[in-house]
């Protein structure tokens, strides 16, 4: 009988351990790669645009220097994260980081475009730098104009991201206005810098 009781107690203890969930097991990691620029396949996820498509004079190119792999299909879910980080090496210019989300904020009835959110990124000249942008600092924009500084992004349905040169003159950065530009991107990560509630 004592052997049966020991076996029963061990079985109950094992069942309790199996049924007990641990919050840490359910919590996503504190950071995840969104893009890791280390393969030609990764590069295919990005589209290259310049103002030459609209009658402008600029040109741009996109190259990859290393090899590796990283896959993405569908939405990028950043719901569990509060900051976007990127490791960049630039030319002293200011760039614009854009996050496109599935359209749930409409400025025009029947609008089918994705929502865009923008923040500025400074890329120090000739040195690798990790820049961190809290998601709440991204401002909702439509056709280059701020929609509302009070509007919040829906980070669970990111459909695309973009980086573009800020060609406007800006006294706050060493190089601004028209001219050549170069930005190298090592990786883009989503970070959780605060505890989930």
In a domain, residue 126? The reply is yes
Distance CA 38, CA 23 (A): 33
- Number of domain units in the chain: 1
Q: Which domain holds residue 101?
A: 30-191
Using 50, 70 and 90 to split pLDDT, how confident is the model at 12? confident
Distance CA 117, CA 124 (A): 23
**pTM for the full predicted model:** 0.67
Distance CA 2, CA 18 (A): 24
Helix (H, G, I), strand (E, B) or coil at 67: coil
pLDDT given at position 83? 95
- Per the DSSP assignment, residues forming a β-bridge with 130 are 87
In a domain, residue 23? The reply is no
Q: Which range (14-23, 82-91, 124-133) has the least confidence? A: 14-23
CATH classification of the domain holding 132 = 2.60.120
Place of tokens 């040109």: 59
Residue from 67, 68, 66, 81 nearest 34 by CA: 81
pLDDT given at position 154? 84
Mean pLDDT in residue range 73-98: 89
In a domain, residue 21? The reply is no
In a domain, residue 53? The reply is yes
């Amino acid at each position: 009988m004592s052997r049966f009781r020991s076996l029963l107690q061990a079985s109950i203890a094992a069942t309790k351990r199996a049924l007990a969930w641990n919050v840490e097991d359910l919590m996503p990691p504190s950071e995840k790669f969104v893009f890791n620029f280390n393969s030609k396949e990764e590069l295919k996820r990005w589209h290259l645009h310049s103002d030459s498509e609209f009658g402008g004079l600029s040109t741009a190119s996109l190259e990859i220097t290393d090899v590796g792999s990283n896959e993405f299909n569908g939405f990028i879910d950043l719901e569990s994260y509060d900051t976007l980080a990127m490791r960049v090496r630039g030319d002293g210019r200011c760039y614009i980081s854009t996050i496109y989300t599935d359209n749930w904020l409409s400025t025009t009835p029947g609008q089918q475009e994705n929502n865009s959110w923008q923040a500025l990124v400074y890329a120090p000249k000739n040195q690798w730098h990790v820049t961190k942008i809290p998601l709440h600092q991204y401002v909702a924009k439509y056709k280059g104009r701020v929609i509302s500084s009070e509007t919040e992004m829906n980070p669970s349905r990111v459909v695309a991201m973009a980086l573009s040169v800020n060609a406007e003159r800006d006294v706050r950065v060493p190089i601004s206005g028209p001219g050549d530009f170069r930005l190298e991107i090592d990786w883009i990560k989503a970070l959780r810098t605060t505890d989930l509630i």
